[in-house]
Structure 1
Amino acid sequence: MLLTFFYGVVAMNSRYKQYLVIGLLLLFKEQAFAGYLPMAESSASTNPTANIYSTAQTGGEGKNSSLYSYKNSQATYDIPSVQLLDKDSKNIDFRKLIDYGGPVMVQFVFATCSTVCPILSACFSSAQPELEKLSGGSYRLVSISIDPEQDTPERLTEYAQRFKAGKNWYFLTGSQGDIAAVLKAFSATYQSNNKMYHQSLTLMRPRKDSNWTRIEGLLGKQDFIMEYKKMTGLSSQVKK
């Protein structure tokens, strides 16, 4: 039933979709539809040694339990050496950005998306204050456009402002070929030419040369912070 509902949302007029998603975010806040939005399966597989498991969330950050689940796996990726463009029109060496040494979290979005992407980005946005405290300011959030022809630096700037992005949050676009190389490297390619069905992914890594935590589905802020603490070895500080 929920899948039927969201396929209907995709077909709606973009203005009405935006209003609907904003309303749903306000109604359900951080727990909105985690794991229930339609996702296309990747045409590239994750690392074959990845230990994939499903995690039923139990509200580790407080008394309220999450009713949702997401697929969680460990994987390694070969980061491509490509030049991308950030929202300030600066050339960015993607590998250097990712391999800077500290915690990094990656998502794939596009600015005109009015279904999955706002929920992914709202998670990053709401987690910023706590990430700042937990990391001492040493972390990076990276949102990569899957629609580089439309997502100019100016449009990404508007998108970043909408989600109150701080200095540690990077928004990247680039050529079709370079974006495709990044998608392939992270096993994030999607079937068909409809970007509305791209995967809902959050990728996390604590430091260079560590494994990545690959999360398929949608996270609320509490889930995201819990996964961050697990990844960085701070899970013992999770409140019981």
Structure 2
Amino acid sequence: MTTRHACRALALGLALASNLALAHGDRGSGGQGGHAGQPAAASQEKASVRFADVSLLNQDGMPVRLEQDLVGEHLVVMGFIYTRCTTVCPVVSAIMGRVQQQLGGRVGQDIQLVSISVDPQHDDARRLQRYARAFQKGPGWSWLTGTPYAIGETLKGLGFSADLSRHPPLILVGDGRSGHWKRYYGVTDPAVLIDELNRLGARRVHVKSTAIADHHEVQP
């Protein structure tokens, strides 16, 4: 991606993400709960994921394993991109960039962002690092590539096609601790993703509180 194309893609992606966030805010000001009014192009479903036991490379050229080193017990937002893409990929990256901006210091602490290239034959670590500069504004966001085999196995386990001609906008949000995941298709409002992260975080607190209460009840 050239600098001119990157700037144009970033502007488009940020404009879409901004408009979606504003639309979400307008809905929220009416006192109505939920996200029934989210854009028709967006949809979501519960997901079952499997993490392939393969080594990948991050944008710094360091070997990482997705489940062990990045997901772990974190809350995770995961997108799928490739650097030559000038349509849906910059939009997905801009949405994730907006999520990072709004969550601030939580990213890199309890929350991790992960972008996986679906074009490993072209996207080496150096290209991903250059591409990431247009969207990433802080720590806690890993951009991954690897061998075609490693990427293929990774995508298969996450339920994503490696076919570049059939590359829909898709973002996964989940909890590495509980194993609860959702897939978000289409141009998804960043606020929807943040709401899901907050819901997963609240679920953790509830589970912990319930476990403590149950423990006290069984004490003699």
> Does residue 176 of structure 2 align to residue 207 of structure 1?
yes
Aligned to 2:210: none
Residues 151-193 of structure 1 show CA distances to partners (whole Å, capped at 9, x for unaligned) of 1111111111111342200000000011110111111115xx5
> Does residue 29 of structure 2 align to residue 63 of structure 1?
yes
Q: Distance in 1 between matches of 2:191 and 2:198?
A: 11
Q: Which has the higher helix share?
A: 2
Shift of 1:233: 2.5
Write out aligned runs for 1:95-174 (5 A): 95-132=67-104, 137-174=109-146
Query: Percent identity of the aligned residues?
Result: 26
Amino acid corresponding to residue 18 of structure 2 in structure 1: E
Amino acid corresponding to residue 63 of structure 1 in structure 2: S
Q: What is the SS of the residue equivalent to 2:72? A: coil
Aligned to 2:196: 227
Q: Distance in 1 between matches of 2:66 and 2:111?
A: 15
Aligned to 1:189: 161
Shift of 1:25: 3.8
Q: Distance in 2 between matches of 1:210 and 1:77?
A: 8
Residues 123 and 145 (structure 1), Cα distance of their counterparts in 2 relative to 1, 3 Å cut: same
* TM-score, normalization by structure 2: 0.75
Shift of 1:73: 1.5
Unaligned runs of 5+ in 1: 1-13, 33-56, 235-240
* TM-score, normalization by structure 1: 0.69
Higher radius of gyration, 1 or 2: 2
CA contact (8 A) 1:84 1:94 kept: yes
Residues 135 and 153 (structure 1), Cα distance of their counterparts in 2 relative to 1, 3 Å cut: closer
CA contact (8 A) 1:79 1:182 kept: yes
Aligned counterpart for 2:61 among listed residues 68, 89, 113: 89
Aligned to 2:18: 30
Amino acid corresponding to residue 225 of structure 1 in structure 2: I
Q: Distance in 2 between matches of 1:199 and 1:31?
A: 20
The alignment yields a C-alpha RMSD, in angstroms, of 3.0
> Does residue 186 of structure 2 align to residue 217 of structure 1?
yes
Q: Distance in 1 between matches of 2:100 and 2:108?
A: 12
Residues 187-229 of structure 1 show CA distances to partners (whole Å, capped at 9, x for unaligned) of 1115xx5x15312111111232422111112223222222322
CA contact (8 A) 2:6 2:134 kept: no
